[in-house]
Amino acid sequence: MNFPLIGKRCQAIAFPLNCKRTGWPSGFTLNRNRFISFHGLLLIGLLVTSLGLADKSFADKPKLQLATVYHKGLAITDYWVSEKLDGVRGYWDGKRLLSRQGYPIDAPAWFTARLPAQPLDGELWMRRGQFEAVSALVRSGSKDDQLSQGNTRQVNKRQVDSWRQVKFMLFDLPHASGTFTQRLRQLRNIVQAVDQDWIQLIKQRRVSSDSALMAWLEQVVAEGGEGLMLHHQDALYREGRSTDLLKLKLWQDAEAKVIGHQPGKGKYTGMLGALLVETPTGIRFKLGSGFTDQQRKNPPAIGSIVTYKYTGVSAKGVPRFASFMRVRQP
């Protein structure tokens, strides 16, 4: 039985073992199975502690409110409407910044220093069309992590400079009482008290009619935006999918799991041709468009979850005109 963690890194640990994968300490006479069942666990624990992995604790998944798809027939004047930003969901739990899945986001200390000790829901956003940049920054780890891996100060300076371009765009107060209109007033007061350029409230406005709503949507998309969000004025903050929070786009989007890679042909020879993906309902299809050349050279890993856009489905439930958008954040 081999332990994949036992390799070159273990030689830095003061432990009386030969660190070769197949070696055993000299003079060793105990039953090896017993050694593995007890001492092996102890060794792995020491490895985790030595490598600093024990400090990478993860929070429970935040209990966030999620949107459903817009539908016609609404009393549109009862809704606040804002642009749907193409950033990374950020949840401030009162002490630290977390992703939608509960992973810590290692923002610089100055970025969150003046945030209140109450939960905030928002989007980490740079500007339109910069999702990949902010997503890469969020995944890059903290400055201390970078230094421990031997990266240069120049790399860390670039990372700090990138965070200077990020704004935490707030749109709700998780678990706070009151209607959405009341929570908006609280958010305005919070943003004013924080008084930092990178902590902002997403602009909310009223629209007078369905035609005005669709005209605004077309304008946002034409300018490089993703779509609109509609939030009922009297809505309470509830965990999970809510019919009081709606997303409106010129296309639909959904998520699927990558289960295979198909090689490219012609100008894409040696690169990705298409992803084979599977939806949560078991529908399998190919995603062959929407990729940059860099993404084709380094395609999403098998097992990862990707977001795609499409316009309707076939009689068999297969998304029509499906196109890759992004890899889902962990």
User: Which residue segment(s) compose the domain that 318 sits in?
Assistant: 252-327
The CATH number of whichever domain residue 295 belongs to comes to 2.40.50.140
pLDDT at 219: 94
pLDDT tens for 254-302 read 999 999 999 999 999 999 999 999 999 999 999 999 999 999 999 999 9
Residues 142, 175 contacting (CB under 8 angstroms)? no
**pLDDT at residue 215, as a whole number:** 95
Structure tokens at 273: 């041709």
Residue 304 in any domain: the answer is: yes
Could you tell me if residue 3 is inside a domain? no
Whether residue 157 has pLDDT greater than 90: no
| One domain, residues 153 and 240 | yes
Give yes or no: residues 99 and 243 share one domain: yes
- Output the pLDDT for position 1: 41
Tens digits of per-residue pLDDT, 179-228? 999 999 999 999 999 999 999 999 999 999 999 999 999 999 889 888 99
Last residue of a domain, one of 248, 279, 308: 248
The residue out of 248, 266, 290 marking a domain boundary is: 248
Q: Which residue has the tokens 């036992």?
A: 6
Compute CA 234 distance to the chain's CA centroid, rounded to the nearest angstrom.
28
309 occurs within a structural domain: yes
Task: Give the least confident one: 45-49, 71-75, 135-139, 184-188.
Answer: 45-49
Indicate the average pLDDT of the chain.
Answer: 82
Torsion angles phi and psi, residue 86, rounded to 5: -95, 70
Residue 135 lies in a domain: yes
> 3-class DSSP state for residue 45?
helix
Last residue of a domain, one of 17, 36, 55: 55
* Least confident span in 118-127, 133-142, 232-241: 133-142
84 catalytic residue (yes or no): yes
Per-residue pLDDT, 164: 94
pLDDT of residue 155: 52
Sign of CA pseudo-dihedral 256, 260, 265, 267: positive
* 2: in domain: no
The widest CA-to-CA distance across the chain, in whole angstroms, is: 84
> What integer pLDDT is reported at residue 250 of this predicted model?
86
Residue 60 lies in a domain: no
Whether the per-residue pLDDT at 310 is higher than 70: the answer is yes
**DSSP H stretches of helix in the chain:** 32-34, 40-50, 109-112, 131-139, 143-148, 153-163, 180-194, 210-222, 293-297
Identify whether residues 244 and 262 lie together within a single domain: no
Instruction: Please tell me whether residues 321 and 237 are part of one structural domain.
Output: no
> What is the tens place of the pLDDT at every residue in 26-60?
443 434 444 344 444 444 444 434 333 334 445 58
- CATH assignment at residue 233: 3.30.470.30
Residues 257 and 242 in one domain: no
Catalytic residue chosen out of the listed positions 20, 56, 72, 84: 84
Residues 92 and 190 reside in one and the same domain: yes
Residues 162 and 228 in one domain: yes
The C-alpha atoms of residue 159 and residue 142 are separated, in whole angstroms, by 9
State whether 128 and 33 are in the same domain. Answer: no
| CA-wise closest residue to 260 among 272, 268, 242 | 272
Residue 129 has a pLDDT of 85
Domain count, the chain: 3
Q: Is the pLDDT of residue 158 over 60?
A: yes
Residue 30 resides in a domain = yes
Residue 78, CA distances (Å) to 99, 234, 240, 242 in order: 30, 8, 21, 16
User: From CA 325, how far away is CA 262, in angstroms rounded?
Assistant: 18
Shared domain for 234 and 129, answered yes or no, is: yes
The pTM score is 0.66
105 shares its domain with 224: yes
Q: Are 106 and 186 members of one domain?
A: yes
- Residue 1, domain member (yes or no): no
- Residue written as token pair 């009482």: 177
Residues 209 and 244 in one domain: yes
**Residue 254 near residue 320 (C-beta atoms within 8 A):** no
